[in-house]
């Protein structure tokens, strides 16, 4: 997973994270707990694990797929690739 953030003032951030480190059982538990508490969504850890498993499978078939790409009016840019 690659996360690229470019600010209009010239500060850039590039994060290269292994997909296995981001999409695992621990993060699935943390995300599902946060969604239940803050967003009042009824999402179990098992359902989140299933979603993450599908994201990993999709990444194998489609490498370098852009998950999010946003550019603001003042020149800031964010791109997240699987």
Mean pLDDT by 10 residues, the chain (82 residues): 90 91 90 91 90 91 92 93 90
Residue 2 pairs in a beta bridge with 16, 81
Q: The whole model's pTM is what?
A: 0.72
Rounded to 5°, the CA angle 29-77-19 comes to: 35
């Amino acid at each position: 997973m690659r996360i690229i953030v470019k600010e209009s003032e010239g500060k850039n951030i590039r994060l290269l994270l292994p997909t296995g480190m981001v999409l695992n059982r621990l993060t699935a538990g943390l995300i599902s707990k946060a969604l239940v508490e803050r967003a009042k969504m009824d999402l179990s850890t098992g359902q989140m694990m299933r979603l993450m498993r599908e994201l990993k499978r999709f990444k194998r078939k489609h490498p370098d797929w852009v998950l999010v790409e946003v550019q603001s009016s003042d020149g800031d840019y964010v791109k997240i690739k699987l």
